[in-house]
Chain A
Amino acid sequence: MRKVYHRILQIAGNVITVEADNVGYNDLAEVTSSRGTSLAQVIRLEDEVVSLQVFAGSRGISTGDEVRFLGHPMRVSTSENLLGRLFTGGGLPRDNRAPIDYDLVDIAGPSVNPAKRIIPRNMIRTGIPMIDVFNSLVESQKLPIFSVAGEPYNQLLARIAMQAEVDVIVLGGMGLKHDDYLFFRNTLDEQGALSRTVMFTHTASDPVVECLLVPDMALAVAEAYALENKRVLVLLTDMSNYADALKEIAITMEQIPSNRGYPGDLYSKLAARYEKAVDFDSAGSITILAVTTMPGDDLTHPIPDNTGYITEGQFYLRNGRIEPFGSLSRLKQQVNDKTRDDHRVIMDTMIRLYADFKETLEKQSMGFQMSAWDDKLLAYGIEFESKMMDLSVNIPLEEALDLGWKILSDNFDKMETGIKTDLLEKFWPKDKK
């Protein structure tokens, strides 16, 4: 039986300190107060003084309450029986069914040896031209949707998830609204995907520390399944809540902030999670799709900024559309040379001309006379937005590429596109000049 400690020295924020010995760094403890029992994690050791982060928050904890150390760090079950189940960030059932306390592994395990990774090679088709043509999604990619409150980012997340051919979906909800949770559950249910889904959700009303656990719980489960040769898709929404929880703890611990109050290790913390995305040499894979809402729609805010430096691109969702500027899939070149010869050139040319269109639009709004070239660009931009960018468009890649040639040839002649001659000869619609 492990020792029980009865004297809490300090309570500040969600952090309590006790005097204890033989405590391992990052070990768990149970804190029992009049409110019930909560898990807590060791976050600092200084001589005999142990600082613990209390998952359920420190409200109601009194200095005389009981602290019992468990002698191991946070664990999660990786049993197949998790499928179809719903848990809290702390790993307790949220669906009134029995807890699962076997096949446990430590969360936040070591990093994959880069030598055991392989180059991603499978395109995930989504039927959304702004993704498939311009920023192809690839199995094992880590990619967030950058957006702002009010945009249909969870809908987009769910739509991609449903389209992707994966074996298991793990949903990690952080600060998730109940409506959004229901939306995900119903969507998964309607598509018959619920039975291959595991959900860990933290809601806005749950203690903030539990929010910090969600990505690690979800990813530990994903990793275990991937090692069993499964293709796993992890959905994390909203990672900005995770980052804000990190900030809150850092401030409680009186850490020196680096940028707008966020701790200096925000990059490393986010990276340790996102880097769990992997295509294993001779096992399964983990693909991570996340949501990052940008405070103040500001791309340079520390959360989206650090995220962008970590992830393999981002989909920039704005005004209900995936914006071509700001959106990026860094893995696209791994797959878009194996789809169709014209994939890359359509991708580059259409975006370049769309950039020119945006410039013309600016000129137009300033009241300048439009040249013949400007008129062409305007017509092109409008057609591009309505036929390609609109999120309601749902067509396979090949059809989208054909559509690209059509839009180009509707508005320009060959020379004006700057496309290499051999490709023009092969793909330019024969009925156009």
Chain B
Amino acid sequence: MLDSNKGKIVGINGNLLTVEFETYVTQNEVAYAIAGDERLKCEVIRVRGQRADLQVFEDTVGLQVGNDVEFTDELLSVELGPGLLTMVFDGLQNPLNELAEQSGFFLKRGLYLPALDYEKKWEFTPSAKVGDNLSAGDTVGSVPEGIFEHRIMVPFSLKGQWELTEIVEKGDYKISDTVAKVANNKGETQDISMVQLWPVKVPITCYKEKLLPTKPLITQQRIIDTFFPVAVGGTFCVPGPFGAGKTVLQHALSQYAEADIVIVAACGERAGEVVEILREFPHLEDPRTGKTLMDRSIIICNTSSMPVAAREASVYTAVTLAEYYRQMGLNCLLLADSTSRWAQAMREMSGRLEEIPGEEGFPAYLESLIAGFYERAGIVELNGGGTGSVTIGGTVSPAGGNFEEPVTQGTLKVVGAFHGLSRERSNARRFPAIHPLDSWSHYTSIIESEKLETARACLRRGTEVNQMMKVVGEEGTHIDDFMIYQKSEFLDYVYLQQNTFDNVDGSTEEERQVYVFDKVIKILNTKFKQKDKDEARRLIQEFRQLFIDWNYVEMDTSEFKSFEETIDKKIAANV
């Protein structure tokens, strides 16, 4: 094999280069277009005859026909090793803070930096012994990374069985230092360091088997955990028109979801929204660990004005990092906002490639790519025992807010839960604006199904009554129906709606959800004595007031108890 394969640019259309190459190229390999002293990263995305089409991860201003291109023979990959947590990367895993130190306010074209710190020393504790039989993904030792035990593993790309021939003593090492050596029966040897490369578009599959996601992933959002739960290792999507609250909801999940590691992929959306995370997470305490939220997070940030091809890569970069930590037996939550921007990036490239377009100009293979992405979620039984998981939640931004479009439809086919945001609800400031009748989940709720059915029936009937009232008016509505409508509104206000920006109401733990939901069900099931509609409305409004106030007090306080007593008394007084 040649160590450096070359080519020349013969065409430029936006961020698409057509390159005539000399010997051979590999689909999805990385190449560099040379423009003066700048080297612009590209990826081969199509080959026809002696010409390859490359997407450039940069602005192509000033490139010329005739410029050199160098092929690397390596697929687009990320660096995996200790030190990923707390980092902020662009879609290609360039560390943004370090880029800022070098190039200031603006992202400089062609400037790429290592994702990890190669000087920092980590305290390595070996766990494998000489003579151990190992294969890809097996643990040889670990280093502490914050509160986590970061496993150092046999590179995922090593094929077959290997025997450990050497391992270093416990001590401080740089990530590129060799910490172990292995050999196979063909006499090949391999050094193992604390960093390895992995191609982002290929799933990591060093595990025994994929298990069925059954355990709820508590998000502390009542409408999700109770009505449309997410499972550890499951998938969910949040489609909604602009401004309906997708990002606010994802931010809430990134703070409160009970996962070990949270990876936020800001994909083609506003820079300002990421800045909020960047600046706030280092100061927000994770109540479950006492550390900051940043200590358990990685942020992949390829916002809308950053190069569009890198946006396409960013979701893969993110999911690869999640899979890596999954291999350590951790539960990772990947939040991608917005998968539509990722799909649009593919549409832009597909258009430049002049492929035959599918619906709305999206490429015909869109659905299989979406499916392939969500397929990387899952809870797995690891080779060495124990489980690890990747849960994926993606937002979708459908054109015109209409869910009958390729990205939403392609996503709905593959996810396990659908949190559809509604314009009506966000207009009426009923947040989170998840539609309580249209949304669904295949996963198990924290609430018993009987009680849940009571609440669902109330919501359904309440909506029907409301529709009916629009035809026959309040006066033509029976008091019992009217009461059902009032109760459904009550349920909506005090339980489905949740004030994200309040310290107490913003997150509701499982225990509290179960507790309060019982009380809500009690109201729904009680036949109150009120026979007059104004009185009925009044009573329910009073309950609403009590519950809202109740929602704002911490659970283990006397105030909480006293609200509960007042509510109980009021129920008793009105039957």
Q: Which residue of B lies closest to A302 (CB)?
A: B399
Task: Say whether A393 faces chain B, with CB atoms less than 8 Å apart.
Answer: no
For chain A, residues 405 to 431, give those with C-beta under 8 angstroms from any C-beta of chain B: 415-416, 418, 420-421
Task: Determine the distance from Cα of A275 to Cα of B272 in the docked complex, in whole angstroms.
Answer: 9
Task: Say whether A44 faces chain B, with CB atoms less than 8 Å apart.
Answer: yes
Evaluate contact between A115 and B493: CB separation under 8 angstroms: no
Q: Which residue of A lies closest to B472 (CB)?
A: A368
Task: Say whether B360 faces chain A, with CB atoms less than 8 Å apart.
Answer: yes
Task: Determine the distance from Cα of A265 to Cα of B16 in the docked complex, in whole angstroms.
Answer: 14
For B347, the chain A residues whose CB sits under 8 A away are 258, 264
Task: Determine the distance from Cα of A113 to Cα of B104 in the docked complex, in whole angstroms.
Answer: 8
Task: Determine the distance from Cα of A305 to Cα of B405 in the docked complex, in whole angstroms.
Answer: 14
For chain B, residues 235 to 269, give those with C-beta under 8 angstroms from any C-beta of chain A: 241-243, 268
Evaluate contact between A112 and B106: CB separation under 8 angstroms: yes
Evaluate contact between A110 and B62: CB separation under 8 angstroms: no
Task: Say whether A227 faces chain B, with CB atoms less than 8 Å apart.
Answer: yes
Evaluate contact between B61 and A227: CB separation under 8 angstroms: no
Evaluate contact between B13 and A362: CB separation under 8 angstroms: no
For chain A, residues 336 to 378, give those with C-beta under 8 angstroms from any C-beta of chain B: 337, 344, 348, 351-352, 355, 362-363, 366, 368-369, 371-374
Task: Determine the distance from Cα of A145 to Cα of B14 in the docked complex, in whole angstroms.
Answer: 30
Task: Say whether A259 faces chain B, with CB atoms less than 8 Å apart.
Answer: yes
Q: A21-B65, A267-B341, A369-B473 are in contact. Are A119 and B276 (CB under 8 A)?
A: yes
For A156, the chain B residues whose CB sits under 8 A away are none
Evaluate contact between B65 and A45: CB separation under 8 angstroms: yes
Evaluate contact between A116 and B552: CB separation under 8 angstroms: no
Task: Determine the distance from Cα of A47 to Cα of B20 in the docked complex, in whole angstroms.
Answer: 10
For A23, the chain B residues whose CB sits under 8 A away are 64-65
How far does the Cβ of B365 sit from chain A's closest Cβ, in whole Å?
15
As a 0/1 sequence over residues 325 to 364 of chain B, the CB contacts with chain A under 8 angstroms (1 = contact) are 0000000000000000100100110010010010011100
Task: Say whether A24 faces chain B, with CB atoms less than 8 Å apart.
Answer: yes
Most buried by B among A25, A348, A372: A25
Evaluate contact between A46 and B11: CB separation under 8 angstroms: yes
Evaluate contact between B105 and A113: CB separation under 8 angstroms: yes
Evaluate contact between A271 and B106: CB separation under 8 angstroms: no
Task: Say whether A272 faces chain B, with CB atoms less than 8 Å apart.
Answer: yes
- Which residue from A45, A116, A366 sits with its C-beta under 8 Å from B470? A366
Q: A310-B304, A368-B474, A372-B534 are in contact. Are A22 and B66 (CB under 8 A)?
A: yes
How far does the Cβ of A276 sit from chain B's closest Cβ, in whole Å?
8
For B242, the chain A residues whose CB sits under 8 A away are 305, 308-309
Evaluate contact between A114 and B428: CB separation under 8 angstroms: no
Task: Say whether A117 faces chain B, with CB atoms less than 8 Å apart.
Answer: yes
Evaluate contact between B274 and A114: CB separation under 8 angstroms: yes
Task: Say whether A26 faces chain B, with CB atoms less than 8 Å apart.
Answer: yes
Task: Say whether A191 faces chain B, with CB atoms less than 8 Å apart.
Answer: no
Evaluate contact between A25 and B12: CB separation under 8 angstroms: yes
For A421, the chain B residues whose CB sits under 8 A away are 545, 549
How far does the Cβ of B275 sit from chain A's closest Cβ, in whole Å?
5
The count of residues in chain A whose C-beta lies closer than 8 Å to any C-beta of chain B is 81
Evaluate contact between B105 and A280: CB separation under 8 angstroms: yes
- Which residue from A111, A373, A420 sits with its C-beta under 8 Å from B534? A373
Evaluate contact between A113 and B96: CB separation under 8 angstroms: yes
Evaluate contact between A115 and B88: CB separation under 8 angstroms: yes
Task: Determine the distance from Cα of A115 to Cα of B278 in the docked complex, in whole angstroms.
Answer: 8
Task: Say whether A192 faces chain B, with CB atoms less than 8 Å apart.
Answer: no
Task: Say whether A118 faces chain B, with CB atoms less than 8 Å apart.
Answer: yes
Most buried by B among A268, A330, A363, A418: A268
Task: Determine the distance from Cα of A275 to Cα of B341 in the docked complex, in whole angstroms.
Answer: 15
Evaluate contact between A420 and B552: CB separation under 8 angstroms: yes
- Where the two chains meet, the residues of B that have a C-beta atom closer than 8 Å to any C-beta of A are 10-14, 18, 59-66, 88, 96-97, 99-100, 103-109, 241-243, 268, 270-272, 274-276, 278-280, 301, 303-306, 308, 341, 344, 347-348, 351, 354, 357, 360-362, 397, 399-402, 427-429, 469-470, 473-475, 493, 501, 533-534, 537-538, 541-542, 544-545, 548-549, 552
User: Can you list 7 contacts pairing A with B, beta carbon distance less than 8 Å?
Assistant: A45-B11, A110-B106, A120-B272, A271-B305, A312-B272, A348-B429, A366-B473
